[in-house]
């Protein structure tokens, strides 16, 4: 009786152990299948930097700074960088007929799970208000660090966003960061994605006030003279169809 009971326990323990090992192996394989492709794509972005002609501090942007990248892909619109983060990427502007073209494509228009940062539809880098979209990757590439702006200390330590267009260097200052949900049924939900392009004064004021009301960070600074607005948008997993958005205004 005791021998039979012990044998059953031993078999059960062996089965559970085998199942747990199998789960760990499968999870490890899945994790590697996620990590290595993202790492390879990140290396491709790093190689793009070798084509950029960097100017000395204080010098104007050289006319050929992004010449190689423009010749390689005419959709290249600029370069986005936030100091002391991994956010340091080219930005694309696809044709309006397919505004999410780079959602799952790399700089060379090949399939890529991380995609490439891109300017959204119905706006461009000269609009009153425009958005740059990027994926929230688990290895903190693309916009994987963007939700760090939910923290007041981080936001104060990283107030500036650098954005080069093809011809000029710009700087934007962060004044709000918020979580929201797209495709929400409620009219009370601020649909930030409908506030890009050309804005009237009333629309501009409404946009600024709405994002400040939603903001998870308390920054006293805000646009005063209808400066251009930049939205950085990525996925957020706090809810279905969640988004995390950082908003900045142009200061240079």
pLDDT tens per residue across span 102-152: 999 999 999 999 999 999 999 999 999 999 999 998 787 899 999 999 999
pLDDT for the residue numbered 6? 64
Tell me the mean pLDDT in the region 85-103.
Answer: 96
Which letter does DSSP use for residue 56 in this model? P
Identify the CA nearest to 169 among candidates 50, 45, 78: 78
pLDDT for the residue numbered 162? 97
pLDDT band at 67 (very low <50, low <70, confident <90, very high): very high
CATH superfamily for domain 67-250 = Sortase (2.40.260.10)
Q: Whole-structure pTM over 0.75, yes or no?
A: yes
pLDDT band at 220 (very low <50, low <70, confident <90, very high): confident
| Helix, strand, coil abundance in the chain, percent, nearest 5 | 35, 25, 40
**pLDDT at residue 1 above 70?**
no
- How do the domains of the chain map onto residue ranges? 67-250
- All residues at 6 or more sequence positions from 96 whose CB lies less than 8 Å from its CB, including other chains: 121, 122
Give the mean pLDDT of the chain: 86
pLDDT for the residue numbered 138? 78
Q: State the distance between the two ends of the chain, measured CA to CA, in whole angstroms.
A: 83
**pLDDT at residue 77 above 60?**
yes
**pLDDT at residue 201 above 70?**
yes
């Amino acid at each position: 009786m005791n021998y039979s009971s012990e044998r059953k326990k031993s078999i059960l323990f062996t089965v559970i152990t085998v199942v747990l090992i199998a789960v760990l192996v499968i999870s490890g394989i899945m994790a590697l299948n996620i990590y290595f492709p993202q790492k390879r794509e990140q290396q491709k972005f790093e190689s793009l930097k070798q084509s950029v002609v960097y100017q000395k501090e204080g010098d104007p942007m050289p006319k050929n700074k992004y010449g190689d990248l423009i010749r390689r892909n005419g959709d290249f619109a600029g370069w986005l960088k936030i100091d002391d983060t991994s956010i340091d990427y080219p930005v694309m502007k696809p044709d309006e007929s397919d505004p999410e073209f780079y959602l799952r494509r790399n700089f060379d228009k090949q399939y890529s799970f991380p995609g490439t940062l891109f300017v959204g539809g119905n706006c461009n880098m000269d609009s009153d208000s425009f958005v740059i979209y990027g994926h929230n990757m688990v290895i903190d590439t693309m916009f994987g660090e963007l939700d760090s702006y939910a923290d007041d200390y981080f936001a104060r330590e990283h107030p500036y966003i650098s954005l080069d267009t093809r011809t000029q260097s710009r700087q934007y200052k962060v004044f709000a960061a918020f979580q929201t949900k797209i495709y929400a049924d409620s009219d009370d939900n601020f649909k930030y994605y409908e506030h890009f392009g050309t804005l009237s004064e009333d629309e501009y004021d409404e946009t600024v006030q709405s994002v400040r009301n939603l903001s998870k960070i308390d920054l006293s600074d805000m646009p005063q003279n209808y400066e251009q607005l930049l939205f950085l948008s990525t996925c957020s997993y706090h809810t279905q169809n969640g988004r995390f958005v950082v908003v900045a205004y142009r200061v240079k």
